[in-house]
Amino acid sequence: MSSQANQPLPEGFQLENYRILRVLASGGFSFVYLAHDENEAPVALKEYLPASLALRTDSNPAPVVPEDKLPTFRYGLKCFFEEGRALAGLAHPNVVRVLNFFRANGTVYMVMRYERGRSLQEHIKKRSGALKEEWIRTTFIELLNGLREVHTGRLLHLDIKPGNIYIRNDGAPLLIDFGAARQTLLAEGAKLPPMFTPGFASPEHHGARENLGPWSDIYSVGASMYACLSGAPPPTAAERLEKDRIIPARKGWAGRYSAELLDTIDWCLRLDHLERPQSVLALQKALSGEKAPGIRGEAPVLDQLKSAIFRLARR
């Protein structure tokens, strides 16, 4: 099955209290629609529809799932539903607001507040010249307020990238599309194809998934800041583990940005998860100039203890 074969729900289609207007985004895992609720207020409606597991044609809104793929489809659906429930408990100005989630058409839908603006990816492409350092620092410090709230709820985003960082019309950043967020990293999760973006995903995403933690999201934040300088992601973590050809930010943009900002980006992008900032707060302090970046995190023993505590808390 291919993502091209899956058809979105048509304009005007009614789902509970929501009427579909058009497709906002589509991918191998889901469709996102612009819809109106019963009060004609706009909402974003995300539909669980992995193209590798399910096929929908024009004739039937319910997808067809082959018998051999049904267990995996149902497991992913359960994760998607639990993700919606977990995110619905978060109310933070820098995290997408989940308003509702429900089952219909043999799948699950997540209703989110519709925000006007554009993604950081679009912002980077449309911006003529380099992004200003003050804008990068301010935007990411604010975005990290939202990520702190996510981590406090023992969630991980696991797919942070410029395409999933939304800049509202008032300039405020917003974390969107928690397609990889999970309350617990269950062994069953290996049944589903990994959902991450090469270049922005940490080394742990690619292999040692038992080491996933806040530091993994922090790697992705560092890669997103790197993209603000270069206009493209750094080499993939898999390539870097084989032969690290990354141009360090400190070397590539020396003289155009402060050494402190460049060192902070390089700190986030260290391959060893224990050598990165271990918490969002540590990264915020570095971005705001309160903590010198480039040091090897806290003491290694303390880093290992933090890593172990986080993994135990998520069981």
Residue 90 sits in a domain whose CATH number is 3.30.200.20
Rounded to a whole number, what is the largest CA-CA distance in the chain? 60
Q: Say if residue 144 is in the same domain as residue 88.
A: no
216 close to 178: Cβ distance less than 8 angstroms: no
Closest CA to 205 of 156, 246, 277: 156
Q: Both 184 and 300 in a single domain?
A: yes
Q: Are residues 232 and 258 in the same domain?
A: yes
Residue 167's SS3 state is strand
Question: Which backbone phi and psi does 293 adopt, to 5 degrees?
Answer: -80, 175
- In a domain? residue 24: yes
Q: Does some domain include residue 191?
A: yes
Same domain, 109 and 122: no
**How far apart are the C-alpha atoms of 116 and 98, rounded to whole Å?**
16
If asked whether residues 76 and 131 sit together in one domain, one would say: no
* Each residue's pLDDT tens digit, 150-172: 999 888 888 899 999 999 999 99
Question: Does residue 296 carry a pLDDT above 90?
Answer: no
> 130 and 256 in contact (C-beta within 8 Å)?
yes
Distances (CA, A) of 261 to 11, 78, 165: 46, 41, 19
The pLDDT mean for the chain works out to 87
Percent residues over pLDDT 90 in the chain: 64
Evaluate whether residue 8 is within a structural domain.
no
155 and 26 in a single domain? The answer is: no
- 227 with 277, same domain: the answer is yes
Residue 294's pLDDT is 54
Last residue of a domain, one of 113, 129, 144: 113
State the pLDDT at residue 310. Answer: 56
Confidence of residue 213 (pLDDT cuts 50, 70, 90): very high
pLDDT for the residue 182: 44
Residue where a domain terminates, one of 72, 87, 113: 113
Query: Is the domain of 104 the same as that of 248?
Result: no
Contact 309, 303 (CB under 8 A): no
Q: Are residues 165 and 32 in the same domain?
A: no
Would residue 72 count as lying in a domain?
A: yes
107 and 34 fall within a common domain: yes
Domain assignment present for 6? no
- The CATH number of the domain holding residue 237 is 1.10.510.10
Tell me the backbone φ, ψ of residue 173, rounded to 5 degrees: -85, 155
Which of 113, 146, 170 is a domain's end point?
Answer: 113
Range of the domain at 193: 118-313
Q: Indicate whether 248 and 140 sit together in one domain.
A: yes
Total structural domains within the chain: 2
Whether the per-residue pLDDT at 131 is higher than 90: the answer is yes
